[in-house]
Structure 1
Amino acid sequence: MSNGSTFPPHRRLRGTLLIVLAAVVAAGLGGWLAWRSPGGDGGGPPRAGQPGPTESAAKGADGKDSGKGKRDGEPGGKGSGASPGDGSGGDSGGDSGKGDPHGSLKGKVVVIDPGHNPNNRDHGQEIARPVDIGNERKECDTTGTSTNGGYAEASFTLDVARRARTLLQEQGAKVVFTQDGDRPYGPCVDERAAIGNKAHADAALSIHADGSGAGNRGFHVILPARVTSGPADTSTIVAPSRRLGERLAGRFIAATGSAPSNYIGGGTGLDVRSDLGGLNLSKVPKVFIECGNMRDPKDAAQLTDAQWRQKAARGITEGITDFLTG
């Protein structure tokens, strides 16, 4: 034969068919083994748009981020659980002031005045010294109030102030404190106002909690009245301070869920006063906020809760931000 084969034509055809069949079987077996390999899910390779194994591990069964891997204190984390009165501001409450872009307060100066001082109680004679607030003379400072359980207003104000400072600094603001628990007492109310004036603050806020009777609940913001007497002249700050107070009240309600005071302000959450040296002597827009009533058990439960204090700090931060950027 011309091809040199010794097999008849029909046997050569059968041999060729057997070789082709063997190749088909081998290819099919290889594909099945790859389909069943440990890296697969039993349904073949992921289709376009499906998450691969790494992405799937980071999501829950419903495809939403599970939040795992966040450290305590980060947004979405549990926080450190700062105990009432430690002033650490350590518990983020799972909330870090979302909604305002970083840098929105760049170039702005905010003065925060944490009401009273934890050490005032040891300096009764010094804080009783009268100072001129323009239309009268009042004591340098007071000890502030406390809850029935002994959580001091001065500890509360420092904690909330420190939390607000962190959030404001994240927005790019320069934050100045009147005191940070680093003074033996005070400062006196006239010096508290002077600190804001010297800093040429774009906004100033004094943080407090009230000491009214049980059943009196809610927060209120204190606005400066028009006072022109002696060293006091609030004529240029009354209007901008009201705008600051209104924005602060609105944001505080939204952040904390608290209602405006049911005993001051006629349900508006705003109160105008002419007897506070920190307002009378201010030359920059300034308000006070009484975050709740420490003598009411329901309000006290909020004020002593670290997560609620973080919400209060966020409401304060957003109110100041609205005022400064609006």
Structure 2
Amino acid sequence: MSYVGPDFDPPQPRRSPLRRPLTVAVAAVVVGSVAGWGVWQAVGDPGGGDDGSQRAAARDEPRTAPPSSTPSAGPTASEGGAGQDDKDGKKGADGEKASPTASSGAAADGPLKGKVVVIDPGHNSGNFRHTAEINRKVDIGTGMKECDTTGTSTNDGYTEAEFTLDVSRRARALLEQQGATVKFTHDGNREWGPCIDERARVGNAAEADAVVSIHADGSAAGNRGFHIILPGAVHEGSADTRPIVGPSRDLGERLAGKFVRETGSAPSNYVGGGTGLVTRQDLGGLNLSTVPKVFIECGNMRDSKDAALLTSGTWRQKAAQGISEGIVSFLRG
């Protein structure tokens, strides 16, 4: 693991059970320092973080075949996305009940009161049944690109669309507890889509303070870890990302640091040069955005070790925690 950036704390090793008596013995002393720790925690996070060079192997999109098709040979940093057809109470791949479909309602009072966050859950479980619709080309500012893709899946058939919507709902609940107003591009209530241009418009219309598009990759076995996709400077046609490049990088770096800390996952070993950060200029979901926006590929569904994490409800909660804390860090400055 070589990620260095804002909010980065390496995962801590498990403590031996033999240390518990000692921990209890000094508990009274430790209590007195909690207040001071709370003050430190409230202080803004440091800046920094190096950008990694983009590997030539990075691919455009996941395939547009049903999730059971043959895995691709390279990373699939995918466009846009939202949803699955799950309703309340449907269980995830590990048997844990999925997080609620509906938002908890009005945002609570909290440090993010007045802030608007848009979460873009990657893909839609129905996309593979609507290939004509999702293959239709839409304008991404710099050219034309397919409306959306099917996304990928684990070898056991747990789809990216299921994963992204579950993590998105978990992150929404956490952000609303902090007082943020959270909007989705899609919440499992559409047969397919929306298209990548529509996804970008949702964030723009909301005048979002931050937008995060949640995905999982479909690369070759042995390729592991997460990466954050940042918008490059694009000024062509109707696309002009120049105003959002700087704040999007800040968002991405903070997101990466918090994701490492909460999940224990390492940055990608196949793109980003170990930084977990990749800059791209070919994704419509980024090119059309007028507000700070990044993509996160949470892991590789086609690697058995990563897939074991992605299909775990416990790990998905950690992923949601890392994503939400990265957004909180960015919004609080």
Secondary structure, aligned partner of 2:309: helix
- 1:239, 1:257 → 2: CA distance? 27
Amino acid at match of 1:121: F
Q: Which moved more, 1:102-111 or 1:291-300?
A: 102-111
**1:317 matched residue in structure 2:** 324
Q: Distance in 1 between matches of 2:319 and 2:129?
A: 29
- Kindly provide the CA deviation profile for residues 187-236 of structure 1, in whole angstroms up to 9, marking residues without a partner as x: 00000000000000000000000000000000000000111111111010
- TM (normalized to structure 2)? 0.70
* Structure-2 residue corresponding to 1:84: 93
Report if aligned partners of 1:87, 1:158 keep a CA contact under 8 Å in 2: no
Correspondent of 2:308 among 289, 301, 306: 301
3-state SS of 1:146 partner? coil
Whether the aligned pair in 1 keeps the contact of 2:226 and 2:300 (CA below 8 Å) is yes
**Distance in 2 of aligned mates of 1:323 and 1:201:** 13
| Partner of residue 242 from structure 2, selected from 215, 235, 247 | 235
Match of 1:155 among 128, 141, 162: 162
Deviations 1:114-155 (A, max 9, x none): 010111111110000001112221100000000000000000
- SS of 2:272's equivalent in the other structure is coil
Matches within 5 A, 1:204-283: 204-283=211-290
Measure the CA separation in 2 of the matches of 1:226 and 1:186. 27
Within the candidate set 192, 197, 217, 1:185 is matched to: 192
TM-score (norm 1): 0.71
- Residue equivalent to 1:44: none
Three-state SS of the structure 2 residue aligned to 1:279 is helix
Pairwise CA distance, 1:83: 2.7
Partners of 1:324 and 1:179 in 2: how far apart?
23
Cα distance in 2, alignment partners of residues 81 and 319 from structure 1? 28
Residue 119 of structure 1 aligns with an amino acid whose one-letter code is: G
2:234–2:241: 8 Å Cα contact kept in structure 1? yes
Secondary structure at 1:236's aligned position in 2? helix
SS in structure 2 of the partner of residue 175 of structure 1: strand
180, 190, 202: which is aligned to 1:173? 180
SS in 2 for 1:266: helix
| Residue of structure 1 aligned with 2:133, choices 126, 134, 139 | 126
SS in 2 for 1:112: strand
C-alpha spacing 1:277/1:107, structure 2 compared with 1 (3 Å): same
Q: Distance in 1 between matches of 2:92 and 2:143?
A: 39
Contact 2:227 2:297 in 1 (8 A): yes
Unpaired stretches in structure 1, ≥5 consecutive residues? 1-61, 65-79, 91-100
For the pair shown, the structure with the greater C-alpha radius of gyration is: 1
| Matched residue type, 1:284 | V
Q: Which residue matches 1:196?
A: 203
Contact kept? 2:254, 2:329, Cα under 8 Å: yes
| Structure 2 CA distance for aligned equivalents of residues 266 and 303 of structure 1 | 23
SS at match of 1:157: helix
Q: In the TM superposition, what are the counterparts of 1:64-143 in structure 2 within 5 Å?
A: 82-84=91-93, 88-89=98-99, 103-143=110-150
Partner SS, residue 230 of structure 2: strand
What is the CA–CA distance in structure 1 between the aligned matches of 2:298 and 2:262, rounded to whole Å? 12
Structure 2, unpaired ranges of 5+: 1-23, 28-88, 101-107
CA distance in 1 between counterparts of 2:109 and 2:179 reads 7
Contact 1:221 1:288 in 2 (8 A): yes
- SS of structure 2 residue aligned to 1:212: coil
Counterpart of 1:110, as a letter, is: V
Q: 1:257-277 deviations in whole A, cap 9, x for unaligned?
A: 000000000000000001111
Q: Let me know the Cα RMSD of the aligned residues.
A: 1.9
Change (3 A) 1:81 1:183: closer
What's the offset of the Cα at 1:88?
2.3
Structure 2: which amino acid aligns with 1:167?
A: L
Give distance in 2, aligned partners of 1:153 and 1:83: 12
Instruction: Please state how far the C-alpha of 1:81 moved relative to its aligned partner.
Output: 11
Instruction: Judge conservation of contact 2:165–2:187 (CA < 8 Å) in 1.
Output: yes
8 Å Cα contact 1:217/1:299 also seen in 2:
yes
Look up the equivalent residue of 2:191 and give its one-letter code. P
CA contact (8 A) 2:90 2:97 kept: no
| 2:137 aligned partner, one-letter code | P
Higher relative contact order (CA 8 A, sep 6+): 2
Aligned to 1:289: 296
Between the aligned partners of 2:321 and 2:99, the Cα distance in structure 1 is: 12
- Deviation per residue, 1:49-107 (Å, 9 max, x gap): xxxxxxxxxxxxx799xxxxxxxxxxxxxxx99432888226xxxxxxxxxx9601110
